[in-house]
């Protein structure tokens, strides 16, 4: 049986691809579990420098949740007493990932698919891809992904997307800094490789510790964040990568990162 998510190592980058092209790469619990496992696997390997999340084919990055009508006519069932819904679990795991997460938006990113895009650190998209949340058209609201939409999209633009249900083109999203780069479809992988090249030659320890700190600082008061940042900076200065980085700078040579 073909897995709905494929995981592939390409040099220092782990690729995670939602492989449900016939369902527009829609999310379900198994897809979320496999993405989660792919993130765990990448973080456990010290030689991985970044993760790419994408979808199969050229139509959809991810069209959101794979909604199937329940017996009572509702599109899904959520146990209100259980906070461990698979989408929430996946978004929490993406948020805590200490490796750079890069979304390769090969097609439309809608509803939960836009949530995945916003949960990534960097985004390269084909310029004609649609980004949006259409939940209001079927009587609901994009509740699960709101925390991530709020981080990336300006409030008024986010509300326009949520209240109208109308999508925007990636080329528009680039102008509003919702995606980093929007390019013609034929240039998508070239631009992605260019961006990955600027990340994977940097200190893996600095990036891992920096992302770990950022996930905590984001939730702190300014005073608490400054105190924590001072503590983390002192610890980072003791790493082998920091010592190598300063030595390479003074010796005017390229660093040889150990990842320690």
Backbone φ, ψ for residue 181 (5° rounding): -140, 135
Between the alpha carbon of residue 197 and those of residues 29, 147, 179, the distances in Å are 33, 30, 18
Between the alpha carbon of residue 40 and those of residues 116, 123, 206, the distances in Å are 17, 21, 19
User: Cα–Cα distance between 16 and 31 in angstroms, integer?
Assistant: 11
Of the residues 21, 41, 127, 135, which is catalytic?
135
User: Cα–Cα distance between 239 and 243 in angstroms, integer?
Assistant: 6
Whether 135 is catalytic:
yes
Is 205 in contact with 240 (CB distance < 8 Å)? yes
The HSE-up count of residue 70 (CA atoms within 13 Å, CB side) is: 6
Distance of CA 137 to the CA centre of its chain: 26
Torsion of Cα atoms, 210 then 198 then 257 then 45, to 10°: 70
Bridge-based pairing of strands 101-105 and 181-183 is unpaired
Active site residues: 135
């Amino acid at each position: 049986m073909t897995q709905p998510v494929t995981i592939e190592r390409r040099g220092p980058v782990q690729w995670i691809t939602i492989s449900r092209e016939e369902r527009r790469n829609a999310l379900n619990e198994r897809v979320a579990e496999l993405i989660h496992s792919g993130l765990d696997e990448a973080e456990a390997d010290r030689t991985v420098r970044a993760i790419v999340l994408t979808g199969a084919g050229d139509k959809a990055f991810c069209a959101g949740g794979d909604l199937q009508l329940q017996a009572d006519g509702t599109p899904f069932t959520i146990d209100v007493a259980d906070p461990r819904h698979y989408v929430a679990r996946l978004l929490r795991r993406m948020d805590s990932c200490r490796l750079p997460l890069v979304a390769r938006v090969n097609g439309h990113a809608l509803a939960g698919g836009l949530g995945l895009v916003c949960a990534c650190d960097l985004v390269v998209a084909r310029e004609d891809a649609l980004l949006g949340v259409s939940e209001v058209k079927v009587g609901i609201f994009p509740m699960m992904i709101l925390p991530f939409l709020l981080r990336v999209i300006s409030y008024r633009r986010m509300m326009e997307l949520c209240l109208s249900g109308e999508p925007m083109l990636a080329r528009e999203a680039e102008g509003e800094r919702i995606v980093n780069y929007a390019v013609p479809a034929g240039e998508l992988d070239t631009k992605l490789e260019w961006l990955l090249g600027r990340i994977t030659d940097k200190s893996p320890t600095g990036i891992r510790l920096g992302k770990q700190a950022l996930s905590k600082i984001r939730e702190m008061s300014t005073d608490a964040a400054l105190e924590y940042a001072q503590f983390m900076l002192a610890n980072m200065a003791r790493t082998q990568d920091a010592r190598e980085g300063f030595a390479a700078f003074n010796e005017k040579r390229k660093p040889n990162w150990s990842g320690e």
